[in-house]
Structure 1
Amino acid sequence: MTEQTKTSAREVVERFLAAAVDPAGAGLADLYGDSVVIEMPFAPPGFPQRSETSAEELRARFEAGAGAREYEKVDGVLIHETRDPEVVVVEYDIHGKVVATGDRFVLHYICVMTVRDGKIVHSRDHTDPITGARALGMLPKLVEILAQEGK
């Protein structure tokens, strides 16, 4: 692989971070490949730990979630390039609010992204599932699932 490929992966991640806080969600889904695998190893019970999807399915998902929460800024960004020019590790905090309540939240992420031909084709996202459930308005569902598991 060339240095150009290595730079391209970093640039895609930088565009991802900028698009994540764009109020219109402009271009976020466009950064993903036609076929993408998203893994969330710390997903709570009842939520998928792995999904295979497409940029168009992600676009619909992003649009559906846009009315529930607003992301305002990204900070604490560290981008680690690896020996594999297609793989980048990014650490960041994304700040936002729940639209219905105005409650603010901060999600802390570490993502391992594989970028091929300028598109994200694999992402392994590590974050706190409780804070995520709260930010997505799904905390009651999570509590219900955990309560059922305890019986």
Structure 2
Amino acid sequence: MRTAEETFRALLDSVCRLQNGDGSQVDVLAGFYAEETDVRHPMAPLGDTPLLGREALRRHFGAAGPPAPAGFRVEDVHVHRTDDPEVVVGEFTYRGDGDWAASSVIVLRVRDGVIVESRDYLDHLGLARARGRLGALCEALVSPRA
């Protein structure tokens, strides 16, 4: 069974593989999460929509869209252990060719080798810029919501 840190590192590896075009990682990524899980993105520019359950995560990863800009990778990985062996805090930077970077912090609770809770603090603007989606994000931010 994986530790919280091992799960975090394996998750990052699979995200990179998915972003570099390996669609088989959708199921691998979903498998890192418990059937009943609670994943939130508190800093999401359009508001946080909780992902509650493995199937919600499968749909989330499946909707990632086309591969990221060339050379998508994770660097500057730091894992901070806590007094609770189920909880780790991971800091890292997504980088890619074209000299872009997006810093991230994820707080994970891993029980029995799977993620049961996660709070993902990502640089959504940096990722949108890198993927050429900044204009669409800005448009969505100023559009009235139903």
Deviation at 1:68, TM superposition (A): 4.4
Deviation at 1:50, TM superposition (A): 4.0
Q: Say which SS state the counterpart of residue 51 (structure 2) adopts.
A: strand
Note if 1:147 corresponds to 2:142. Answer: yes
* Structure 1 partner of 2:83: 83
**Which range moves more in the overlay, 106-115 or 136-145?**
136-145
* Structure 2 partner of 1:8: 3
1:9-88 → structure 2 map (5 Å cutoff): 9-22=4-17, 23=20, 24=22, 25-26=24-25, 27-44=28-45, 47-69=46-68, 72-88=72-88
Q: Say which SS state the counterpart of residue 109 (structure 1) adopts.
A: strand
1:94-133 → structure 2 map (5 Å cutoff): 94-96=94-96, 105-133=100-128
Q: Which amino acid aligns with 1:79?
A: V
**Which range moves more in the overlay, 124-133 or 67-76?**
67-76
Q: 1:73 to 1:8 in 2, by over 3 A?
A: same
Structure 1 portions without partners, runs of 5+: 98-102
The structure that has the greater radius of gyration is 1
Q: Say which SS state the counterpart of residue 103 (structure 2) adopts.
A: strand
CA distance in 1 between counterparts of 2:49 and 2:88 reads 19
Structure 2 portions without partners, runs of 5+: none
Deviation at 1:137, TM superposition (A): 4.5
TM-score by length of 1: 0.75
CA distance in 2 between counterparts of 1:41 and 1:64 reads 19
CA distance in 2 between counterparts of 1:72 and 1:128 reads 15
Alignment identity in percent? 33
CA distance in 2 between counterparts of 1:73 and 1:132 reads 12
TM-score by length of 2: 0.77
* Structure 2 partner of 1:100: none
- CA deviations on 1:74-106 (whole Å, 9 max, x unpaired) are 110000110011110000112246xxxxx6632
CA distance in 2 between counterparts of 1:59 and 1:119 reads 14
Conserved? CA contact 2:37–2:51, under 8 Å: yes
Q: Which amino acid aligns with 1:141?
A: A
